[in-house]
Chains A and B, each alone.
Chain A
Amino acid sequence: MNIRDVNDAVLFNMRNAYQNYNVAVNVSGKVIYTYMGVLKPKLGNATYSSAGVLSPLVNDPLYRTIGIGTRLFLGGGVGLVAWWGTQHNPCVVRTEGGVPKRPAGTLAVIGDVKGMDARYLRGVSMYGYGTSLGVGIGVPIPIVDEEMAFFTSVDEGDIVTAVVDYSKSYPQGEAAILGEVRYRELRSGVIRVGGKEVPTGSLSSLYMAREIAQVLKGWIKRGEFLLSEPVERLPGRDSGVTVKAFRERPL
């Protein structure tokens, strides 16, 4: 069967473009296989998963231009923001510049797979965990005023995130973190956690993020892609929207 033979092929990705995310490490003595990749024992490596300075919602931290109805680059084709994504969590602690210091906003996006390109939409296998999808996403952010110019000038040194132990804190739903790091440190290839130097690896590709930004820029310049104004705002930092942990009921 070929994609050309079916009437419709629609990608509806319920949670995409996370606004910042944890750095995952493993404090235990055994290797663990997670959605953040293979984590070696005793802080053997650290993985992170945001494009950082090129992550859409990091550049529009208060959701001023990105909202429901925003047209975007999705998997090599054109898509739209359909809603806020699952686990959208805008009320977390933020830096002075407004950037969340913990996993925060997310987008639910929709697009026509027939217009997409296998270079930007790839099957993924997280060894020992499960399958996933590598989705190339790019959101145009119009610099409509001074504040948006400030937001989009975000630097690696301005993005702070939490280091989380995926052998204990994460699976047990504990809020405990091992510390905070900046993207500048993550990008250097080594962070310090509890006095130990830990090599870092990203799950999101900065190389591909740059490529997507250039492709989208070309579309816009040639008039092939038009920016859209959101029809509804996403729940913001004062909305009270939070993520509720799902507790198992004892039998």
Chain B
Amino acid sequence: MVSQKVVLHFPQELVDRPIISDMVKRYKLEFNILKASIDPDEGGVLVVELEGERRDVRQALSYLRGLKIGVQHLSKDILMRHERCVHCGVCVAICPSEALLLNRVSWQVEFITDKCVVCELCVKGCPYGAMEVRF
């Protein structure tokens, strides 16, 4: 079993189709929606965690791409701008999912993308603007 967090960009013409529902049935996946924003005139963005057999997850993502849905790994869309980070660690106490950690040997802040739940609290909480969300 594998688990992957992806950002899906839906074109406007697909907004009225039950694509996620089709996909999870077809490829026997479990899913957890972390963020969704849908506008019938503009399309939608969905941040979703997919869990299933490695082959099924891969095929499910190809299925989505075949429908002209943009598929991007979450790590590409939420990022830490290292040149802006001063490693103060104020984000560490704000992050609810322990995706931001303070290494107590180097005293540097580390961002573990896999643990991120895209709440975006760190984006507001970082005084140096080091956390960026791009979807």
Contacts and interface: CB of A to CB of B under 8 A. Distances in A.
Interface of A: 37-38, 40, 45-47, 122, 124-128, 132, 134, 187, 189, 198-208, 210
B135 interface: no
Given A38-B124, A126-B127, A132-B127, A46 B88 contact: no
A38 B86 contact: no
Given A38-B94, A199-B93, A201-B89, A207 B107 contact: yes
B87 A207 contact: yes
21 contacts: A37-B94, A38-B94, A38-B124, A38-B125, A45-B94, A46-B93, A47-B93, A122-B86, A122-B128, A124-B128, A125-B127, A126-B127, A132-B127, A134-B127, A201-B88, A201-B93, A205-B86, A205-B89, A207-B107, A208-B88, A210-B107
A205 B92 contact: no
A200 B104 CA distance: 13
A198 B107 CA distance: 20
Nearest to B88: A205
A35 to B, nearest CB: 10
A126 B129 CA distance: 10
A166 to B, nearest CB: 14
- Please give me the 5 A-B residue pairs with the lowest Cβ-Cβ distance, nearest first: A201-B93, A45-B93, A207-B87, A199-B93, A201-B90
Interface residues of B, number: 20
B128 A201 contact: no
A202 B88 contact: yes
Contacts of A198: 93
Contacts of B102: 189
Contacts of B86: 122, 134, 205, 207-208
Given A38-B94, A201-B89, A207 B106 contact: yes
Contacts of A203: 88, 90, 127
Interface string B100-112: 0010101110000
Contacts of B94: 37-38, 40, 45, 201
A122 B87 CA distance: 13
Given A127-B125, A207-B106, A207-B108, A200 B93 contact: yes
B133 to A, nearest CB: 14
